[in-house]
């Protein structure tokens, strides 16, 4: 009986952590990556007239005239990329608030991209967080997205929450407040991004598709729409650098992957909050997504 006690204790702790609201992942990769001042890592990309710094946060906003976006000063070949975001409350249909990796400017129409996107919503309905992975050749002309959508276990308009992408040579892991919500493993070169990417953030009008497949559009009677960013985390391997570099691990194991407790937390999120999975969509042509 004594032999099984540590295992039983670990199991009970994991279960209890999953029954008190937000699951405990047991490991917090954001604490291992230093916060970096915005101006040391990023610059305004567009809509600079719709950007300001306020109480240690970068504020972007969208109105009828323009949205706004920023971009990292360097490209990276892997790493941990995070930020805290506070979303706009109320009617935000058609509005996208994003944090993502991309090389679209280097390879237009043939780019790679790893997205965290918040799809705006109507009164009384929750935000949808969409994660997505585009692979070489799935760009502007022939989009083959790998979307998953979840609702969150908190109100993202009430305060800042941390969102992150961990991109390593073997997998991509998406985190919300250090809880892994999705793991996208490298199954082949054809289904995994390998070219350097920049880091972006933006707020923009995507009325044609963002909210219930475009059913609800941006309504500028409620403008401006704000997105607030702070706590920028950047632990990454710079592209075109001769220096050796190992991206941060997302788990206690230096080799990466996820611990049992992290997997349990991720499964809890996916069981209770996932609302769309491209691999389970019968309308999709899965010959173009062989990883499914």
Residues 6 or more apart whose Cβ sits within 8 Å of residue 45: 69, 70, 71, 200, 202
Instruction: Beginning with the edge strand found earlier in the chain, give each strand of the sheet holding 161-167 in spatial order.
Output: 51-54, 57-62, 225-238, 76-87, 161-167, 171-176, 179-185
Tell me if residue 171 is catalytic.
no
Residues 6 or more apart whose Cβ sits within 8 Å of residue 20: none
- Indicate which residue of 54, 105, 117, 291 is catalytic: 117
- Indicate which residue of 54, 105, 113, 148 is catalytic: 113
CB burial of 97-112 (b: ≥16 within 10 Å; e: otherwise) equals: bbbbbbbbeeeeebbb
Report the C-alpha gap between 219 and 210 in whole angstroms.
Answer: 13
Report the C-alpha gap between 229 and 71 in whole angstroms.
Answer: 13
Tell me if residue 117 is catalytic.
yes
Backbone angles phi, psi at 131, to 5 degrees: -110, 150
- Catalytic residue numbers read 113, 117
């Amino acid at each position: 009986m004594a032999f099984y006690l540590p295992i039983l204790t670990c199991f009970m702790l994991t279960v209890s952590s999953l029954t008190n609201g937000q699951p405990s992942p047991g490991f917090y990769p954001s604490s291992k990556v230093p916060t970096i001042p915005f101006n040391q890592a990023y610059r305004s990309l567009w809509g600079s007239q719709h950007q300001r710094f306020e109480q240690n946060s970068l504020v972007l906003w969208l109105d009828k005239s323009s949205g706004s976006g920023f971009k990292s000063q360097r490209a990276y070949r892997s790493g941990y990329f995070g930020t805290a975001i506070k979303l706009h409350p109320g009617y935000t249909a058609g509005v996208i608030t994003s944090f993502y990796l991309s090389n679209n400017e280097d390879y237009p129409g043939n780019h790679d991209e790893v997205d965290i996107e918040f799809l705006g919503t109507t009164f009384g309905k929750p935000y949808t967080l969409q994660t997505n992975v585009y692979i070489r050749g799935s760009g502007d002309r022939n989009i083959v997205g790998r979307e998953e959508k979840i609702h969150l276990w908190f109100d993202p308009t009430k305060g800042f929450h941390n969102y992150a992408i961990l991109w390593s040579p073997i997998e991509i892991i998406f985190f919300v407040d250090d809880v892994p919500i999705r793991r996208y493993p490298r199954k082949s070169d054809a289904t995994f991004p390998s070219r350097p990417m920049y880091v972006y953030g933006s707020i923009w009008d995507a009325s044609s598709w963002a909210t219930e497949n475009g059913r609800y559009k941006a309504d500028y009677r409620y403008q401006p729409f704000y997105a607030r960013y702070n706590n920028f985390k950047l632990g990454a391997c710079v592209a075109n650098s001769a220096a050796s570099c190992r991206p941060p691990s997302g788990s206690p194991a230096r080799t990466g992957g996820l611990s049992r407790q992290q997997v349990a937390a991720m499964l809890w999120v996916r069981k209770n909050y996932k609302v769309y999975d491209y691999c389970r969509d019968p309308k999709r042509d899965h010959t173009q997504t062989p990883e499914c």
